[in-house]
Amino acid sequence: MTDPISPRDDHSTTASNAGPTRPDGGNSTRADGGETQSRVFLEDGDAELDRGPLQRWVDDSIKNPDKVYRAMFYTAAIFFLVTTLFPFYWLLMVALTPEGQLSDIILTPNGFNPGAFIEVFQTIPFHWYVFNSFVIATASTVLVLVVGSLAGYAFGRLEFPAKVPLLLLVLVISFFPPAAFFIPLNDLFNTSFFILEPITGDGTLYNTPGAMVLPLSAIFMPLAIFILTTFYAQIPDGLEDAARVEGTTRLGALFRVIIPLSAPGVATAGVLTFIAVYNEFFFSFLMTDGQPESWAPLLEGILAYQGQYEVLYHLMAAASIIGVIPVAILVIVAQEKIVSGLTAGALKE
Amino acid sequence: MATDTDGEAVIGSERRSETDRTGNAVVNWMENLSEAAYAYLLLIPAFALLALIAFYPLIATFITSLRADQTRGAEPLGGFVGIDNYVDILTGNARLARQFIDVAFSTSFPFVEFGTPFLQQALFVTIGFAVISVFFETVIGFGQAYVLDQEFRGRRWVRVAIILPWAVPIVIQGMIFFLLFQPEVGFGTEVGQWLGIFGPNPLADSQDAFIIILVADIWKSSAFMALLILAGLQSVDRSLYDVARVAGATPWQRFKRITLPLVLPALLVAMLFRTMDAMRVYGLIESSVGCTTVPSLTCLVVEAMFGGTRIYATAAAVAFATALVIGLIISVYVVFFRDTEGGLY
């Protein structure tokens, strides 16, 4: 077993083996499961030969390919960690660098100026934009969860003739680009409605949270409906029947039995909707005039630095970091929900 | 809400008297609906919202797209012109700053001529962006999913790190890559020039900016792919691998013969989702390199709407054409992969 491999311990070939050919070379001769045997040989051989750590590692790897896979796996994991996290780290370095010394930042900031994180709020009312974003995202999430729960209950637990066509119709909506909806909506939200006058002043929805909450709720509702349908359908009929026999109304059964029992699913749909609305660009960008008093969300705050304050790169970076923090916390707290929600929603569709 | 009506008449009329206390006519009526009627009732709010935000605008967009542009006068739109706007945008004659598509056919090789550079035509920019980004996101997402599928210490935190870019607001994603490739601040330009792919000002050059957009999108969206592929990977029966190992299959054979076929349905769904999303790209471009440099289909709609030239009908035609292109791509996916085990839906 070790015979075809041991010649490779030769110095000239170890170099070539250190390359990517290693897994193949090690593995093709190794697939029959003689691992324990080769380990015994390995220990004998190592004791006699005087070799450097690299060669010993290579030799070891050839005899024990699992170790190579482990190494490849760690290399890949570290590569992905670095590529996903480095932009955030770099952003922090830019934010910490004082104005005017912003060139050639790679791993360390040129100076230390944490004041940028306070300056962000002084230059423009950035907190106002963040607050607006929170209000819009929360309102959309509540609307999506209530309306989506009703629909999810109907799709998940009731039988009716048009079920499949209607479900497909919901799916189709999530396929269309927002641009295809935008032009008439822009007209509609700029039209003055008499009923709205006491609420919005001039009677239009433009520059109000409604102009963003309504379209964003509609656009992200399909995903929530699919997630909630999956979860609601899993509740045993007996529990609902018991509640009904006890005298609960139909809606009461939904809100007191089905929804509480599907709390993880509701949380999942809620977290995903919140992140999606908070991150959305198209309607958030076009449905306000960009002023914080007009309910302009976070993205207008960040773009304000790009437009008006062209050279304040460190503030752009600091504002971006502040904008990421809420979703980063959500991801850390609710990562399992996000994973299960995305997969449940997508695979259902 | 009717949730407080505990002693509601569920079965018969003998308890009707109790409804005086809690219930009302609406609750009674709801209790007596058939299952199908109740289902439709519950769907009304959802479909009312979708009708207002999606169905009505879609139809209105289509109707607007059939009318003429009216650049002067009080009325925003001219008379009915049929498919003229579509003919204009498809032949490169629309009144747009960047064309939807501008290709002429010729008799000599290669039989097509570009009226404007390839990357200044929105359709090609968008499709090119979708194809290339989805390809790389699939490959990288597969790698990430493979890593997350292993058991190791700290997996939770690696998963957070990999999901994190997906959760970043689009505007911040754009800002990060704007700063990275901004010659004064970021080192991205120097790296690109060192590699020989970037010119002096990548943010203003169509080709360089296109690459920046691709990198930014791959950075953010690979995670989405990874999560969906991971779901597929985790549903694979582990004992299959043991059988394959005993039978002497190499890891590559195990991947090709077991993993790939079983993950394929999840992979196709993920690719379909990403493709649709990539076809709508707008915010990333707007917040980093700008729509003039890399005009996507959605960019065209917004510029036509707010460009000050009052070409609303053309804007509507571009918007509807975008929806049609996406619909076409979905149909292709569905037709090609209908027979795949598990199916698309």
Task: Examine residue B284 and state whether it is found in any structural domain, yes or no.
Answer: yes
**B183 in the same domain as B76:** no
Q: Which residue has the higher pLDDT, B203 or A4?
A: B203
pLDDT category at B313 given cuts 50, 70, 90 is confident
- Closest of B342, B237, B165, B281 to residue A346, by C-alpha: B342
Question: What are the beta bridge partners of residue B104?
Answer: B113
Integer CA distances (angstroms), A217 to A144, A152, A281, A283, in order: 6, 15, 14, 11
**A89 in the same domain as A127:** no
Q: What is the pLDDT at residue A344? A: 67
Task: Examine residue B127 and state whether it is found in any structural domain, yes or no.
Answer: yes
Query: How much is the pTM?
Result: 0.81
* For the ranges A129-133, B191-195, B252-256, the one whose mean pLDDT is highest: A129-133
**Residues of chain B positioned with their CB less than 8 A from the CB of A75:** none
Per the document, the length of chain B is: 345
Pairing relationship of beta strands B103-105 and B112-114 according to DSSP bridges: antiparallel
Question: What are the beta bridge partners of residue B103?
Answer: B114
Residue A349 has pLDDT above 70, yes or no: no
Contact B258, B177 (CB under 8 A): no
**B180 in the same domain as B145:** yes
A contact test, residue of B31, B164, B328 with most A CBs within 10 A: B164
- Closest of A104, A126, A327, A14 to residue B182, by C-alpha: A104
Q: Which of A27, A42, A63 is the last residue of a domain?
A: A63
**A149 in the same domain as A34:** no
Integer CA distances (angstroms), A174 to A168, B91, B251, in order: 10, 30, 38
Q: What is the pLDDT at residue A30? A: 42
**A249 in the same domain as A143:** yes
Residue B338 has pLDDT above 80, yes or no: no
**Per-residue model confidence as pLDDT tens digits over B212-261:** 999 999 999 998 888 888 888 887 888 888 888 888 888 788 888 888 88
Q: Which of A114, A146, A178 is the last residue of a domain?
A: A114
**A133 in the same domain as A21:** no
Rounded average pLDDT over A176-180: 84
Task: Examine residue A331 and state whether it is found in any structural domain, yes or no.
Answer: yes
Ranking A15-29, A165-179, A231-245, B97-111 by mean pLDDT, the lowest is A15-29
pLDDT category at B135 given cuts 50, 70, 90 is very high
Task: Examine residue B250 and state whether it is found in any structural domain, yes or no.
Answer: yes
**B71 in the same domain as B142:** no
Rounded average pLDDT over A292-304: 86
Contact A344, B172 (CB under 8 A): no
Q: Which residue has the higher pLDDT, B295 or A99?
A: B295
Helix A178-190 and helix B297-306, axial crossing angle in degrees, nearest 10: 20
Residue keyed to tokens 């992905």: A80
**B87 in the same domain as B218:** no
Task: Examine residue A304 and state whether it is found in any structural domain, yes or no.
Answer: yes
**A219 in the same domain as A91:** no
Q: Is B96 helix (H, G, I), strand (E, B) or coil?
A: coil
Task: Examine residue B236 and state whether it is found in any structural domain, yes or no.
Answer: yes
- Closest of A218, A256, A216 to residue A239, by C-alpha: A256
On the CB side of A184, how many CA atoms lie within 13 Å of its CA?
A: 20
Query: Percent of chain A beyond pLDDT 90?
Result: 19
Ranking A208-212, A323-327, B69-73, B207-211 by mean pLDDT, the lowest is B69-73
Ranking A131-135, A255-259, B36-40, B191-195 by mean pLDDT, the lowest is B191-195
Rounded average pLDDT over A197-205: 71
Contact B144, B226 (CB under 8 A): yes
**Per-residue model confidence as pLDDT tens digits over B157-174:** 888 888 899 999 999 999
Q: Which residue has the higher pLDDT, A202 or B151?
A: B151
Rounded average pLDDT over A240-259: 87
Rounded Cα–Cα distance for residues A133 and B286 (Å): 19
**Residues of chain A positioned with their CB less than 8 A from the CB of B35:** 158-160
The answer for B 251-270 residues in CB contact with A (under 8 A) is: 251, 266, 269-270
Q: What is the pLDDT at residue A213? A: 92
Cα end-to-end distance, chain A, whole Å: 51
pLDDT category at A71 given cuts 50, 70, 90 is confident
Residue A28 has pLDDT above 50, yes or no: no
Q: Which residue has the higher pLDDT, A64 or A270?
A: A270
pLDDT category at A23 given cuts 50, 70, 90 is very low
B contact test, residue of A104, A142, A250 with most B CBs within 10 A: A250
pLDDT category at A205 given cuts 50, 70, 90 is confident
pLDDT category at B140 given cuts 50, 70, 90 is very high
**Residues of chain A positioned with their CB less than 8 A from the CB of B42:** 150-151, 153-154, 158
Tokens of B27: 């609750």
Rounded Cα–Cα distance for residues A316 and A324 (Å): 12
Q: Do B301 and A275 touch (CB under 8 A)?
A: no
The answer for A 297-326 residues in CB contact with B (under 8 A) is: 298-299, 302-303, 306, 313, 316-317, 319-320, 323-324
**B192 in the same domain as B76:** no
Task: Examine residue B20 and state whether it is found in any structural domain, yes or no.
Answer: no
Residue B332: enclosing H or E segment and its boundaries?
helix B312-337
Q: What is the pLDDT at residue A50? A: 60
Rounded Cα–Cα distance for residues A348 and A171 (Å): 10
Residue B114: enclosing H or E segment and its boundaries?
strand B112-114
pLDDT category at B203 given cuts 50, 70, 90 is confident
Q: Which of B259, B278, B294 is the last residue of a domain?
A: B294
Residue A1 has pLDDT above 60, yes or no: no
Rounded average pLDDT over B37-65: 91
**B258 in the same domain as B133:** yes
**B255 in the same domain as B175:** yes
Q: Which residue has the higher pLDDT, A199 or B152?
A: B152
Q: What is the pLDDT at residue B219? A: 94
Domain that holds residue A96: 70-114
**Per-residue model confidence as pLDDT tens digits over B57-73:** 999 999 988 888 877 76
At A247, which CATH number? 1.10.3720.10
Q: Do A84 and B312 touch (CB under 8 A)?
A: no
At B196, which CATH number? 1.10.3720.10
Contact A322, A126 (CB under 8 A): yes
**B77 in the same domain as B208:** no
Task: Examine residue A1 and state whether it is found in any structural domain, yes or no.
Answer: no
**B180 in the same domain as B106:** no
The answer for A 232-291 residues in CB contact with B (under 8 A) is: 244-245, 247-252, 255-256, 275, 278-282, 285-286
Rounded average pLDDT over B14-33: 64
Q: Which residue has the higher pLDDT, B1 or A164?
A: A164
Rounded Cα–Cα distance for residues A37 and A225 (Å): 56
Ranking A106-120, B99-113, B130-144, B314-328 by mean pLDDT, the lowest is B99-113
- If you average pLDDT over every residue of chain A, what do you get? 79
**Residues of chain B positioned with their CB less than 8 A from the CB of A173:** 50, 54
pLDDT category at A139 given cuts 50, 70, 90 is very high
Domain that holds residue B150: 122-294
Question: What are the beta bridge partners of residue B67?
Answer: B80
Task: Examine residue B193 and state whether it is found in any structural domain, yes or no.
Answer: yes
Q: Do A85 and B283 touch (CB under 8 A)?
A: no
Q: Do B322 and A177 touch (CB under 8 A)?
A: yes
DSSP letter (8 states) at residue B116: S
Task: Examine residue B182 and state whether it is found in any structural domain, yes or no.
Answer: yes
Rounded average pLDDT over A68-96: 88
Domains held by chain B: number: 2
Peptide bond into A215 cis (omega under 30): no
Domains held by chain A: number: 3
**A107 in the same domain as A124:** no
Query: Percent of chain A beyond pLDDT 70?
Result: 80
Ranking A16-25, A90-99, A286-295 by mean pLDDT, the lowest is A16-25
Residue A58 has pLDDT above 60, yes or no: yes
Residues 6 or more apart whose Cβ sits within 8 Å of residue A48: none
Per the document, the length of chain A is: 349
Q: Which residue has the higher pLDDT, A140 or B14?
A: A140
**A55 in the same domain as A131:** no
Task: Examine residue B178 and state whether it is found in any structural domain, yes or no.
Answer: yes
Which one of B36, B162, B224 has the shortest CB-CB distance to A80? Answer: B162
Q: What is the pLDDT at residue B19? A: 45
**B149 in the same domain as B91:** no
**A319 in the same domain as A286:** yes
Radius of gyration over alpha carbons of chain B, in Å?
27
**A105 in the same domain as A206:** no
Rounded Cα–Cα distance for residues B303 and A198 (Å): 33
Q: Do A183 and B301 touch (CB under 8 A)?
A: yes
DSSP letter (8 states) at residue B16: G
**B191 in the same domain as B88:** no
Integer CA distances (angstroms), B242 to A28, A289, B252, in order: 17, 61, 14
- Closest of B261, B295, B256 to residue B120, by C-alpha: B295
